[in-house]
């Protein structure tokens, strides 16, 4: 059983379509949240995942589009939230609003969250062992999370914790779209990167009147 892992699409339709086209054969696909925000195509990205029936959890940008949250956004991120609020239909907003903050799939073997399992808005960083340790794993075999936009995988005993990285806005110095594939039988994870048309996204950011840095940072992967 091979499962594709994506997270932090952030309204980047071009990157999402490229990832889905380049992903090797899989038996299922899950998304660790933040389908919308930043980039110009929130509606298209919602429809892609909704129409495919992809199990998805709510990210902090998703939440900000449909409800009041305490998460503090900078001006660039806030612009992306407001753009999504303007572009999404009532049906698309309802789909976001109904996303859970966590879910388990594949007979409870895979748990999906956005940030820290105890706090969906908390950044779980691999450089802080006291925040990221075996205690994050519950009864599941694999914990999938996002939020940091940094791709990584760690093993703790018989369990795996994996951040597939960001499809739509990587922040680890590599501008290529990120995703992963977990083999639940072999208990192995492959992390992947794929190039996509960043120039097309930057042109769309400008056309949509979004902050220029949303596009420029994509080329730097930060």
pTM of whole model > 0.85? Answer: yes
CATH code of the domain containing 140:
3.60.21.10
How many C-beta neighbours within 10 Å does residue 2 have?
Answer: 18
CA-wise closest residue to 100 among 58, 65, 129: 58
**Residue 38 carries which DSSP code?**
S
For residue 130, the model assigns a pLDDT of 42
Question: Which residue carries 């994050």 as its tokens?
Answer: 136
Q: Which helix (H) or strand (E) holds 217?
A: none
25's tokens: 């054969």
In angstroms, the Cα distances linking 203 to 34, 68, 100, 115 are 22, 31, 33, 30
In our burial notation (b when 16+ CB lie closer than 10 A, e otherwise), range 105-125 reads bbeebbbbbbbbbeebbeebe
Cα separation, 74 vs 41, whole angstroms: 20
**pLDDT mean for each 10 residues of the chain (222 residues):** 98 98 98 96 98 97 84 81 94 97 96 83 56 61 93 86 96 97 96 98 96 95 90
For residue 127, the model assigns a pLDDT of 45
CA-wise closest residue to 201 among 165, 151, 167: 167
- For residue 200, the enclosing domain spans 2-219
Name 198's Cβ contacts closer than 8 Å, sequence gap at least 6: 175, 215, 218, 219
For residue 36, the model assigns a pLDDT of 97
Distance in Å from the first CA to the final CA of the chain: 33
Domain count, the chain: 1
For residue 134, the model assigns a pLDDT of 53
For residue 167, the model assigns a pLDDT of 98
For residue 27, the model assigns a pLDDT of 98
Q: Counting every residue, how long is the chain? A: 222
Question: Which residue carries 């990285």 as its tokens?
Answer: 165
Name 94's Cβ contacts closer than 8 Å, sequence gap at least 6: none
For residue 129, the model assigns a pLDDT of 41
Cα separation, 84 vs 62, whole angstroms: 9
Evaluate whether 213 touches 76 at the Cβ level (below 8 Å). yes
For residue 155, the model assigns a pLDDT of 85
């Amino acid at each position: 059983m091979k499962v594709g892992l994506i997270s932090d699409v952030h309204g980047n339709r071009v990157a999402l379509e490229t990832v889905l086209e380049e992903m090797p054969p899989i038996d299922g696909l899950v998304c660790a949240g933040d389908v919308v925000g930043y980039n110009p195509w929130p509606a298209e990205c919602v429809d892609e995942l909704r129409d495919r029936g992809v199990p998805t959890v709510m990210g902090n940008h998703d939440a900000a589009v449909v409800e009041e949250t305490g998460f503090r956004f900078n001006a660039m991120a806030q612009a992306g939230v407001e753009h999504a609020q303007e572009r999404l239909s009532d049906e698309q907003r309802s789909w976001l609003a109904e996303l859970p903050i966590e879910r388990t799939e594949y007979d409870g073997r895979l748990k999906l969250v956005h940030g820290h399992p105890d706090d969906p808005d908390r950044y779980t960083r691999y450089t802080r062992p006291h925040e990221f340790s075996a205690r994050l794993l519950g009864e599941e075999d694999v914990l999938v999370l996002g939020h940091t936009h940094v791709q990584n995988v760690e093993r703790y005993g018989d369990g795996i914790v994996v951040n597939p990285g960001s499809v739509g806005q990587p922040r680890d110095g590599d501008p290529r779209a990120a995703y992963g594939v977990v083999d639940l039988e072999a208990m192995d994870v492959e992390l992947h990167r794929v190039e996509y048309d960043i120039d097309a996204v930057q042109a769309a950011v400008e056309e949509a009147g979004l902050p220029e840095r949303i596009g420029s940072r994509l080329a730097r992967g930060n």
